[in-house]
Chain A
Amino acid sequence: MPLSRREFVKLCMAAGAWMAFKPRFFRFLGEAQAASLPERFVRSTCSPNDTGACGFLAQVVDGRIATLIQAADYPEKEYNPRGCLRGLSMVNLIYGKDRLKYPLIRTGERGKGEFRRATWEEALDFTAKRLKEIMDKYGPEAVAMTVQVGGTGYVHKGAFVRLAALNHWTIHHAYDQNGDLPMFWPMTFGVQTEELESLEWRNARYTMVFGSNILQTRVPDAQHLIYAKHNGKLVVFDPDFCNTAAKADEWVALKPDTDAALGLGLAKVIVDQNLYDREFLQDFTDMPILVREDTGKRLLAGEVKALAAEAAARRIPEYRNLFVIHTPKGFTILDPESLRPTGADLEGEYTVELTDGRLVKVRPVFSLLKELLQDYTLDKVAAITEVPAAQIERIAVEAASNRPVHLIYGASNYQWYHGDLKGRALALIPVLTGSIGQSGGGISTYAGQYKIRFDLSEWWYPKGGKLNWVPYLYFLQGGGKRYPKNGIKAMVGGWGNPFDQHNMANRLKERCLSGDIEFVVTFDFQMTTSCQWSDVVLPATSWYENYELTATILHPYLQLQQPAIRPMFESRTGLWVMRELAKRLNPEWEKYFFPELNEEEAALKVIEVLLATGGPEVQGITLEMLKKGPVRLKLPAPRNRQIPFWKQVHERVPFPPRSYPAPLAATAKFLKSGRIEFYKDEDLFLELKEQLPVHKETFAETEYKLDPGAREKYKLRYVTKNSLYRVHSTHSNNVWLNELQEHRPKVFLNEKDARERGIKTGDLVEIYNNRGKTTCYAVIDPGCRPGTAIFEQGWWARYLGNESYNSLTMPWIKPTHEVYFVPGIWSPNTAWNECLVDVRRVSA
């Protein structure tokens, strides 16, 4: 039936009206829906072992984290926002396919990753049973614990240490295990390590970066480096042209491992041209201390006839010695407990009468230094380092004329066999220029969140507990001081991935396959390679699922991790797991872990305990304050700025300051003079002729000594540098970040080296030496120095054809690292870079 015109028009109007209102109707509907979505924001702290400790806001919707963005709530606005691509993509790990859901017990062969699901009861019972068996058979020291890394988790990582102490287990210190301990620090400054907070970088007038690729490894702090560049000058010292070198005003392409020579060459220019701070050397360093020419030892006041009586009458702590200086008044005892102006002579040769009547010649350390520096003329240093002499001279003068000078001394630089010599030599620059203890000046390291920032003994070290500290390198070498007499038979690990990251020369995997290691239990939130090699895997919470107290070295803020979501699947916190394990190992021990409180309450309680008992650094800081945002620790410098040695230089308190958790006496004995010491007169240093820092040939005492054929067979130095896309091995399985890397682990080669080996970009290649091998893709890198193979570390073995990239490295131990032992402070440090390899094509 045809429509009449009127009806037709009416219909059109109705349709038109409907069309006009329809979108609005849907809009109301849309907004009503949106308003009903429950969402909230929770601030936590991103806490892998990267030194960032950046505050993040998690937006939680329907019980899941929908977005993450930097909290950007640091009181100093210049710090904001911090954060980086890794923290921003954390959801990929929390919700990714490798997330551990339930406790697992191994069914197949070690390393195959075959498990069956178990209840917590079963897994914990089994773990306790195996550990008890091993302890009964081999002694408690046969169980070794590693925790990566203490500074990121005072509560839960502390709980692990607490249990280890109760059990008298062996424990490895992550700092030297990771190779992050720059041994020049305890040797020269008597501390574990010190560094400026990154905000202070802005106050430097001359910034020198040695072996630190800040643009990739200190992403949240790189902005301060660029500020420092425009406020003064930025010089980057690196054999390869890395991102950080690209940002610098000047890039110095020195030959690898020759920084000691460079440091000494720079020092010589500063000394020769009289650009050094004389008073600083007189008052704060060992430069005036007299050294006996016959023994090479420092002259003791008790040996000097004229001073012996006075020396005997003086009361000094047993970790100090009374040394002697020469002033216009003659020979004077140097008071190790005071840094009063000395007016000492820095140079000269004197004859002194000893108590036994002998006459010996003595000279100040500074004279010895000047004598040493004669071997480091500009021409000689230029030949060693392959840096033009004119450039070295100019930089030295520039640095000395533009104070304060700040040296950022990176791990890539000191993770060599002679890393300690390099650090000691480079430390001369901030010392000679008087930049120590100044805003914007000094020498800083920044490797790892190792630093314990206050007294945590109340939680970490229970009464009656004892920890058998054993350097990890001894574990790999199978022997050393304090090594358990029956060896290490069980590994208890948390938050770490040693089967990728510390499997040097493949020893870890071999020991597990041979049955030498009888039990491995790992606590983690993802199925890493180490989990695959474990007998029991326990699922952990991530830092958006628990309360925790964290700190770092890049800035002095104390921050909380807070739960944005409930623990996923059956994961649990470290504190809870340790409590459960504790009560199974010894019912008496449960009470050490607040059994009357649930997981969350217990963690909060521990934080309160830590704040209450932590000492001056946390004075007045409460949990309530931390719940609102980051709180600055109390530090000696004005405005609580993190400026190392402030008290020493401004209040003349003797070196060293305390390095928690060690008592002062443990480390102060490294500086018996109470001052910065370049001259080390322990027997071994004298024997090795390393009493002052010197340049030593690379690989001469390691690779070439072990295998003289290495010179011909393995021509490339193996640099396992940090990647932008990972924090060590965390984020190795991050889907977005792998997408940004073309899904390919890479080795970067110089064009000449690649051509000689018939390798083109994109070729599948094998990096090999006589210890191990790994597979990845070659990329020709114009910035890569000839003779180098750069591999970005942290890839899980499953991405490398199941070969660990660390199977190529070697657990060398330098004897000077064993002169004393204070765990994580004076200890054999891993030398990752001391490694030679070669590369061959596998296929195109």
Chain B
Amino acid sequence: MAQKLGWIVIFALMALGLVAWIFQLQQGLVLTNMRNSYTWGLYIAGLAFFVGNAAGGLVLSSLIYLFGVEHLKPFAKIGALTAFANVSAAMISVLPDLGRPDRIYNLFLHPKISSPLIWDVAVLSLYALLCLVYLYLLMLPDLKGPWARVALKVKNPREFSQKVAKALAPFSLVAAVGIHVITAWIFATQGARDWWHTGVLAPDFVAAALASGTAVVLIVSLVAYGLKEEYRRAYRTMTLIIAGALFVHLFLMYNDIVIHAWYGSAEHLDTLSILFRDYLFAHLFEVVAPLAAVILLLSERVRNHAGAMIASCCLLLAGILVHRFLLMPGAFDKIAFTFTPLGLQKHEWSFPIASGRYDLVLDTFVTKWAYFPSVVETTIFLGVVAFACFVIMAAIRELPIVDRVSP
């Protein structure tokens, strides 16, 4: 029953998301709450979030074969699957952000080699392909019935599968880390946005990805396999990976904050005040929620309760989602074009931007823009989340992702 309800909700959210997108295509991106001074929001935060989950999924899978972590083997396929679902969601999440998605073929006809966005399109597409291939290879031994037709004809499928998986593992690891480094470079290369332009962004992205990606695998695993004794060790390993990755992520994030806060340039302090003043609760949440989740996951009581573990993972994912979202206020909430005017002693002053908003009560020209996703944006985003869930759930239902018998 719960499952049926789940499917209904998933399909409803996807349908609503699609309708919202069609509406947005008709009316234009004016239906979002972004404007000229705040040009990326939930959709691109979604890109970072989904890519992070995707990276984590395949890292886990490749760790199994690279480092021989045998007890994680049942979850290898789930890793590849969640990776595929999330990377697809990532690419789909960007589509509604485009003003002219009908011109997407230009990405292939006229790619600009210097653009990190093109690199990301390339690596994400290849990564999706890689995940599919990896998943296919992992499933090879178990492709039965109608799926047998697409199975490669090899003598010993299981051995073949293991061999190729092991061969691919290093590439998968590099790819998994790579997609998130490249995604980070979309932001980190931009000197105009102080909040992004730091060397720590790529490693921080990877650390957060490892935490969230593993959490996604953990959730799906718990749902698919349940809290059986034989998987306890695997869950413990995943928890430890999450915890370790989270601490590295928090360290990297605060390392960056501390050195900039110390130097105390007006620009940096301005950016930090957005985080610590305007978005204090969000920041507390992005730090405390995953920490709490990890503490819970490590605790005796939670470890013995599948529902609690799933809830804790969701808490962590929520925290990481907020972390991804917080990429935006620091970059856009204040104007990049801020300087000390000639002849004035104490003025740090921002040159207002023509926001694109025309309103007889509010100003067109702004120096600050408080962004919160609009109803349309949220609906579309939820639709994409639902899509990822749909892919995972459908695959698990139709394909030999979950081992019915322990290996």
Contact = CB atoms under 8 A, between A and B. Distances in A.
Do any beta carbons of A and B sit within 8 angstroms of each other in the complex?
yes
Interface of A: 739, 742-743
Nearest to A19: B109
Nearest to A736: B364
Nearest to B359: A743
A209 B157 CA distance: 95
A739 B358 CA distance: 8
Contacts of A739: 358, 364
B363 interface: yes
Contacts of A742: 363, 365
7 contacts: A739-B358, A739-B364, A742-B363, A742-B365, A743-B360, A743-B361, A743-B363
B349 to A, nearest CB: 14
A742 B364 CA distance: 7
A92 B364 CA distance: 18
A635 B198 CA distance: 70
Interchain residue pairs A-B with the least CB separation, the first 6: A742-B363, A739-B364, A743-B360, A743-B361, A739-B358, A743-B363
Interface in B56-90: none
Contacts of B365: 742
Interface string B352-368: 00000010110111000
A743 B358 CA distance: 10
Nearest to B109: A19
A743 B365 CA distance: 11
Contacts, number: 7
A75 B376 CA distance: 59
A743 B364 CA distance: 9
A220 to B, nearest CB: 25
Contacts of B358: 739
A286 B364 CA distance: 59
A739 B363 CA distance: 7
A108 B358 CA distance: 33
Contacts of B363: 742-743
Contacts of A743: 360-361, 363
Contacts of B360: 743
Nearest to A738: B360
Interface residues of B, number: 6
Contacts of B361: 743
A92 to B, nearest CB: 13
Nearest to A735: B358
A317 to B, nearest CB: 59
Nearest to A741: B363
A739 B360 CA distance: 8
A743 B363 CA distance: 7
A739 B366 CA distance: 12
A739 B354 CA distance: 10
A464 B364 CA distance: 58
A617 B363 CA distance: 50
A810 to B, nearest CB: 33
A372 B360 CA distance: 57
A80 to B, nearest CB: 29
A742 B365 CA distance: 8
A249 B170 CA distance: 72
Contacts of B364: 739
Nearest to B358: A739
Nearest to A743: B360
A739 B364 CA distance: 7
A109 to B, nearest CB: 26
Interface in B345-398: 358, 360-361, 363-365
B229 to A, nearest CB: 54
A739 B365 CA distance: 9
A661 to B, nearest CB: 45
A742 B362 CA distance: 7
A743 B362 CA distance: 8
A619 B360 CA distance: 52
B350 to A, nearest CB: 16
A742 B357 CA distance: 12
A742 B355 CA distance: 13
A742 B360 CA distance: 8
A475 B363 CA distance: 41
A246 to B, nearest CB: 11
A739 B361 CA distance: 10
Nearest to B360: A743
A743 B360 CA distance: 6
A830 B363 CA distance: 36
A785 B358 CA distance: 34
Nearest to B354: A739
A19 to B, nearest CB: 8
A154 B361 CA distance: 41
A552 to B, nearest CB: 33
A459 to B, nearest CB: 44
A742 B363 CA distance: 5
Interface string B230-258: 00000000000000000000000000000
A634 B361 CA distance: 51
B65 to A, nearest CB: 37
Nearest to B361: A743
A739 B357 CA distance: 11
Nearest to B363: A742
A739 B356 CA distance: 11
B344 to A, nearest CB: 11
Nearest to A739: B364
Interface string B169-200: 00000000000000000000000000000000
A243 to B, nearest CB: 16
A692 B200 CA distance: 79
A354 to B, nearest CB: 66
A742 B361 CA distance: 8
B46 to A, nearest CB: 33
A579 B366 CA distance: 52
B360 to A, nearest CB: 5
A144 B363 CA distance: 43
A192 B360 CA distance: 43
A742 B358 CA distance: 10
B144 to A, nearest CB: 29
A742 B367 CA distance: 13
A348 B378 CA distance: 93
Interface string B135-147: 0000000000000
A681 B365 CA distance: 58
B259 to A, nearest CB: 36
B251 to A, nearest CB: 43
B361 to A, nearest CB: 7
A740 to B, nearest CB: 8
A229 B103 CA distance: 55
A207 to B, nearest CB: 23
A106 to B, nearest CB: 27
A807 to B, nearest CB: 24
B47 to A, nearest CB: 30
A798 to B, nearest CB: 12
A215 to B, nearest CB: 18
A21 to B, nearest CB: 15
B312 to A, nearest CB: 45
B54 to A, nearest CB: 33
B357 to A, nearest CB: 11
Nearest to A742: B363
B331 to A, nearest CB: 26
